[in-house]
Structure 1
Amino acid sequence: MTYSAVLIDDEVHCTESLRLLLEIATPDVKVAAIFNESGAALEYLKTHPVDLVFLDIEMPEMNGFQLLGALDQLRFDVVFVTAYDQYAIKAFNFSAISYLLKPVDEDDLKDTLTRWQEKKYKVMGQNQLSMMWELMANKEKPKSKIALPTNDGLEFLEISTIIRCESESNYTRLYCSDKSRYLICRTLKDVEKVLQENGFIRIHHSHLINPQFIRKFVRHDGGFIVMEDGEQISISKTKKSRLFELLNDVERL
C-alpha cells in the first residue's frame, strides 16, 4: 500500500534532503507536495487528502502548531521535524506524535516510518494539539502531565497520580492512585528518562517509583519498600544509595 506525504519546512534544503531520504527509506511513502511557506501548506491541507505530514515546528509566518490549529479537523498523522533538543521534545515521548531531530538521520527516519506503519496512530484532536503546544511552550518547567496513546487518540495523565511503573519486557505498566492501570509500548528506561525530572527513582531494574507514594521501608530480607497500593518491591544493591539519600531527607520523629 502506498501512502501520501507532505513536507513542510521554511528551509528549502531541509525539505529537499528529507525528500531524498524518503526515496531511499521506503517505496511505500510518496511525496505528494512540498511547501516552504506555511500559508500555502495550510490551503493545500484543507483541500487534499494526506496520510502523513512532516512538519517543521519553528517557521516565520506561523509555526507548526499554529498551522495545525488552523485546520478544522486533522485527518492525517504528523511527524514533527525539529531542531529542539532532547529535553524540549520529552513532551512527545508518550504521545501519538512522532518527531525527527534535525539534521534528519536516515536510520531514524526508517525507524519512525516503521513504527508509524505498524501502529497507525490515530490522528490528534485540536484539544490534544493544544495540550502538546502548551507542553512545548513550557519546556523549562517540570511537566505536570504526560500523554498516553489510546485507541481513539491520547489520554493526558497527571504525573502526580502515578504510584509506580513496572517493566513488562518492551512494555511498561503504569499504576495510578485511582487504581487505574495503563500498559504502554515503551521500555522502563524510556519512561525513566521522562519521569526522573519529576522525582521518580529506579530502585530495581524492573521498577520505577514515585517516592511520594512510599508507605514503608523494611530493612530485612535485603531491603524492600511497600508502596501505597500495597506492592512490595525489592531494592537492588546498586540502587540503595540513591534511595537512602532520599529517605534521609524525610523528617523523622
Structure 2
Amino acid sequence: MNPKSLIIDDNPFIIDSLSDQIRQHHPEIEIIGNARSGREGLEKVRTLKPGLVFLDVEMPDMTGFDLLGQLREITFQTIFITSFSHYAIKAIRFNALDYLLKPIEEEELRQAIRRFYANLGKTANQEHIQQALDNLKTETPQEQKLFLQTQEGELRLPLKNIVSIEGERNYSYIHLANNTKKLSSKTLGHFEEILSDKGFFRCHRSFLVNGHYVQGLQGPGHFLLHNGNLAPISRRKKSEATAWFREYLADNEH
C-alpha cells in the first residue's frame, strides 16, 4: 500500500512546490490533501488519517507543536517544515525530530523520505514527538529529557542527570551524575547549540558544564563540579564564565 501524505503549511507556494517535488521524485507517495492553517490541518489529520504529515512549525493560528498536542494519539510520522527560526530549529534538534528547511531542497527531501521508510512500522518518530510535547509543557529545563543515540542504542536522558559533556574530535562523552559516561557521535558544538538556554555553558573548547552541578570556581581556571571533578575554563572565557555562574546562581535561588 502506498504511503498517504498530508501537507500542512500556511504558505501556498510551499505546498505547491513540495507537492510537485513529491509527485516528480517520489510518485509512490500519495498526497491525499493539504491545509493552509493549523485548524484546517488538525481537522484533515483526524478525517484523512495520513501515514506521513509534512507540518509547518510556525503558522499564524497555531504552531505545529500545538496541533500535535491536540491529538489524543499520534499515529503518523511527521516531517517538520520550518524557516531558519532559531527557536524552532533548537526545539526540533533538541528533540531529535526530522525537519526540512525552507526553501525545500530536493536532496534534503530525498533523505527525509528515506528516513521515513526506514522508520515504517517503528514508533521512534512518534515517541520523539511525544517527548517534544512533554518537554514543551515542562517549565523547568532540568526536567526536560534529551534523546541520545549511543553505542547501546537510543537513550532518553533527563538533563538533570547530565553533569558535563566533554568533546573529543567528532565525538562527545556525556558524564552522568551516577559517575558513568555515555559516548555520542554528536559534536560538542551540537550539544552547545541545543543546551545553551537550558543551564549549560561552554567553558572550554572541549567542555560543556551543567550549572546545576557547578559548586563554584576553583583557582583561576576551573569550575569545581559536585563530584569533585574539575572542568577547565579557557583563558578567554574566564570573565564570561564568572558572569554566567553568578547569573545562574541568581536565577536558581530558592
- Give the TM-score taking structure 2 as reference length: 0.68
SS of the residue aligned with 1:87?
A: helix
Q: Say yes or no: does 1:155 pair with 2:153.
A: no
Seen in structure 2, the aligned counterparts of structure 1 residues 71 and 234 have a Cα distance that, compared at 3 Å, is closer
Structure 2 residue corresponding to 1:43, chosen from 43, 47, 60 = 47
Structure 1 stretches of 5 or more lacking a match? none
> How do 1:155-194 and structure 2 match up within 5 A?
155=156, 157=158, 159-179=159-179, 181-194=181-194
Opposite residue 244 of structure 1, the aligned amino acid is T
Deviations 1:176-197 (A, max 9, x none): 3244544444321121122222
Partner of 2:198: 198
Partner of 2:126: 124
Structure 2 stretches of 5 or more lacking a match? 36-40
Would the aligned equivalents of 1:173 and 1:183 in 2 still touch at CA under 8 Å?
A: yes
Opposite residue 99 of structure 2, the aligned amino acid is Y
Partner of 2:38: none
Which deviates further from its counterpart, 195-204 or 239-248?
239-248
Q: Say yes or no: does 1:104 pair with 2:108.
A: no
What CA distance in whole angstroms lies between the structure 2 residues aligned with 1:245 and 1:64?
34
Deviations 1:45-94 (A, max 9, x none): 3xx6x4x43223448699665458646452x4321113582214422223
Would the aligned equivalents of 2:65 and 2:133 in 1 still touch at CA under 8 Å?
A: no
Partner of 1:232: 230
Partner of 1:244: 242
What CA distance in whole angstroms lies between the structure 2 residues aligned with 1:110 and 1:64?
24
Seen in structure 2, the aligned counterparts of structure 1 residues 229 and 118 have a Cα distance that, compared at 3 Å, is farther
Seen in structure 2, the aligned counterparts of structure 1 residues 170 and 72 have a Cα distance that, compared at 3 Å, is same
CA RMSD of aligned residues (A): 4.2
Measured after TM superposition, the shift of residue 110 of structure 1 is 5.2
Opposite residue 125 of structure 2, the aligned amino acid is V
Deviations 1:155-208 (A, max 9, x none): 252x34421111243333322324454444432112112222233221211110
What CA distance in whole angstroms lies between the structure 2 residues aligned with 1:163 and 1:133?
24
What CA distance in whole angstroms lies between the structure 2 residues aligned with 1:183 and 1:119?
23
Seen in structure 2, the aligned counterparts of structure 1 residues 31 and 244 have a Cα distance that, compared at 3 Å, is same
Number of aligned positions between the proteins: 236
Opposite residue 194 of structure 2, the aligned amino acid is V
Partner of 2:5: 6
Measured after TM superposition, the shift of residue 105 of structure 1 is 4.3
What CA distance in whole angstroms lies between the structure 2 residues aligned with 1:82 and 1:105?
13
Measured after TM superposition, the shift of residue 17 of structure 1 is 0.7
When you count helix as a share of all residues, which structure comes out higher? 2
SS of the residue aligned with 2:78?
A: strand
Percent identity between matched residues is: 24
Measured after TM superposition, the shift of residue 228 of structure 1 is 1.9
